Structure 1
């Protein structure tokens, strides 16, 4: 199943009736069944929502993202309990062994760097940078103690967006990257919560002020999908067209476990196999390939 990402841009009222979300604007009313929605982005601060609708969206595990006055993602709603056995799942999560976490983080980082190498070669044709990144991936240690991830990122972003590019700069490219990453973050949050686990207890990320430590861990190897889309649109202003392209990444087709899937479905498969891997101690995680 593929859920829709719905974005609300204009001044309107959102309410709930009989499993439908009602969108009322200028006296006109549209309806959308909540079961069809995966993510709802409230891009306009003038949008009015009822508490009833917000509760039902949470019950259906719909991710609701709120944007600030500049229309950039600022926060989201996560239900307290995404699964009937959430208490049991979180108890197991708190007891994950450090060695298993280190091995999983090694796999995640290596996958991420490999995807970065493939992105560089696909978008720029730079074989030497691709080879350098593949060497970084081959030398990731458990827990990434030698910080191959950071070394690879430094090379990767400068090759993709130019030698003067910095992730710390304030520009349209970084705004677009952050917007796309927020879409990914929301998709992973949905699956983690639905499985009954906490997004706060990570494998590598452990910032006490970050409510999404685990989410940040699991989405790492999927970030290059956003990077690739931003690269394709890099000469455009960061406008509604650009944002719509980023929102559509969840409907991109990928191959995972030998089958063609929408990215939203692939994320669900990846998260479920991650938790199974944590329980069995096996450090194998599936890789995806873009179509």
Structure 2
């Protein structure tokens, strides 16, 4: 199945389902259609968008998401299917009953993977990243020393320059990052539900108001991929969010990554990660978590091909 992100960025459009298609209309005139079976997520940014109940049902039946974003291009609501995996009841129970020691061990694995991805992105830009290898080795169960934050303080100035500040509410490069993270967060939320897990029960993130804590946990290793794309977009003159930059970020889910089991796409890597996490909950062991391998310079060179 093809995995596509459908971005709705034009005001006053109506979305509906008709004979297996998502149909986009304006003033009752069709302006586009996409096969429902090809859709991973529908991302809504514009004002005055309406949609039919039949469309939401059709998306849910296929495991696809509807993501509604705020003015900063970060998600404010997500519609997820209630039915996921055929063994959902057992998996939800094992997820809920997983003890804190296991959750801490799993979070350590996630943080180590994220730091190694950050190092890979910096190396691809010709930046010495030896300190990140040392930081990754220092991460303990649950990351009580907050090595993740220590790595971030080193990472952003090296990647974006000393003047850069990560701010979810800011424009410019920050809006690029917000949008890219939204795409990958949606992908991980979908993978979590498909694996029979509940996205609100995280292994680290535990804010009561966060319905997607687990997706936020699992997206962490993939974030540097968005960072690398943002750098490439700025080099190409896309310093603000544009249709071209949105298309580039949407293409990330189909990007090829080399791994221990051969080359796969970001979508498949996300699916494998969520499925392996469910197995970890059932076995009580963190060693089976299939985290994505850090990208090679060749993998990251493929980002340029996504920019039009």
Q: What value does the CA root-mean-square deviation take over the aligned residues? A: 2.0
Aligned partner of 1:94 in structure 2 is 96
Helix, strand or coil at the partner of 1:143: coil
Helix, strand or coil at the partner of 2:258: strand
The 8 Å contact of residues 95 and 282 in structure 2, kept in 1 or not, is answered as no
For residues 234-272 of structure 1, the C-alpha deviation after alignment (integer angstroms, 9 at most, x for no partner) is: 252312222221121112111233222221121111211
Helix, strand or coil at the partner of 1:288: coil
The 8 Å contact of residues 45 and 69 in structure 1, kept in 2 or not, is answered as no
Structure 1 residues not aligned, in runs of 5+: none
TM-score (norm 1): 0.91
Aligned partner of 2:155 in structure 1 is 156
Deviates more, 1:252-261 or 1:92-101: 252-261
Aligned partner of 1:251 in structure 2 is 254
Aligned partner of 1:106 in structure 2 is 108
For residues 42-101 of structure 1, the C-alpha deviation after alignment (integer angstroms, 9 at most, x for no partner) is: 232233211111111112111111234566543221122323443322211111122221
Tell me if 1:78 matches 2:80: yes
Measure, in 2, the Cα distance between the counterparts of 1:88 and 1:52. Answer: 30
Deviates more, 1:193-202 or 1:167-176: 167-176
Helix, strand or coil at the partner of 1:171: coil
Measure, in 1, the Cα distance between the counterparts of 2:269 and 2:109. Answer: 17
Measure, in 1, the Cα distance between the counterparts of 2:276 and 2:88. Answer: 17
The 8 Å contact of residues 12 and 24 in structure 1, kept in 2 or not, is answered as yes
Q: CA deviation at 1:172?
A: 1.2
70 and 109 in structure 1: CA distance in 2 versus 1, 3 angstrom threshold: closer
Aligned partner of 1:64 in structure 2 is 66
User: What are the within-5 Å matches in structure 2 for residues 106-255 of structure 1?
Assistant: 106-123=108-125, 125-127=126-128, 130-168=129-167, 170-234=170-234, 235-238=237-240, 239-255=242-258
Q: Following TM superposition, where does structure 1 have runs of at least 4 consecutive aligned residues deviating by more than 4 angstroms?
A: 69-72
Helix, strand or coil at the partner of 1:250: helix
The 8 Å contact of residues 200 and 210 in structure 1, kept in 2 or not, is answered as yes
Helix, strand or coil at the partner of 2:197: coil
Tell me if 1:12 matches 2:13: yes
Measure, in 1, the Cα distance between the counterparts of 2:2 and 2:42. Answer: 14
The 8 Å contact of residues 19 and 33 in structure 1, kept in 2 or not, is answered as yes
For residues 201-225 of structure 1, the C-alpha deviation after alignment (integer angstroms, 9 at most, x for no partner) is: 1111111111111111111111110
- How many residues are matched? 288
